[in-house]
Amino acid sequence: MARFKLDDGAIVDTARAARSWDEASEWDGRNHISKATGDQFTHETLYKSAKGRYYIVHSSQWQGSRDHAEEISLRDAAAWLLQNEHELPEDLAEFEGFDLRAHDMPVNLPEGAQRVAYLDNDDKEAIASGSREEIARQLTQTGYKVVD
């Protein structure tokens, strides 16, 4: 476990975190690739502090690299959790259905998703709805990369 200083000077201790979530990964035939970072060598773990702050610890397998932490918004925490195949905790329930605008990353549609908020080609808020395949088609037509 480790302690980190956030940008605002607050100290967070992973050993005292109220909760933590590991990144999801996919096997590419040779390596496990992080869904959070997109590669095999850098990793992320999301934590919720005892005071309710969400922060990500960034780590790397590269020699000489140092782990570091950054605080993220509730919206970004919800997007990270959904991208990494986790259920949302109660304090993030307002983001259920996930918000694709939070990150510029490939989209994993959770099983059972029936509605997804996104920005259309005119940067206006829109809702994709229907079956998983219909939602994926709507998002792909708008330029999002939907992955299985």
| Joined tokens for residue 46 | 């999301």
Q: How far apart are CA 142 and CA 12, in angstroms?
A: 39
pLDDT at 116: 78
- The list of the chain residues with pLDDT below 70 reads 97-106, 110-111, 148
DSSP for 51-119? TS-EEEEEEE-STT---EEEEE-HHHHHHHHHHTT-PPPGGGGGGTT-BGGG-SS-EEPPTT--EEEEE
pLDDT at 110: 67
pLDDT at 98: 57
pLDDT at 28: 86
DSSP for 19-39? EEEEPPEEE-SSSEEETTTSS
81 touches 108 (CB < 8 A): no
Cβ contacts of 130 within 8 Å, gap of 6 or more: 114, 138
- Residue 132, burial from CB neighbour count under 10 angstroms (0-12, 13-18, 19+): middle
pLDDT at 69: 97
pLDDT at 14: 97
Q: Are strands 125-129 and 146-147 parallel, antiparallel or unpaired?
A: unpaired
- Residue 15, burial from CB neighbour count under 10 angstroms (0-12, 13-18, 19+): exposed
Q: What is the domain partition of the chain in residue ranges?
A: 3-95, 106-148
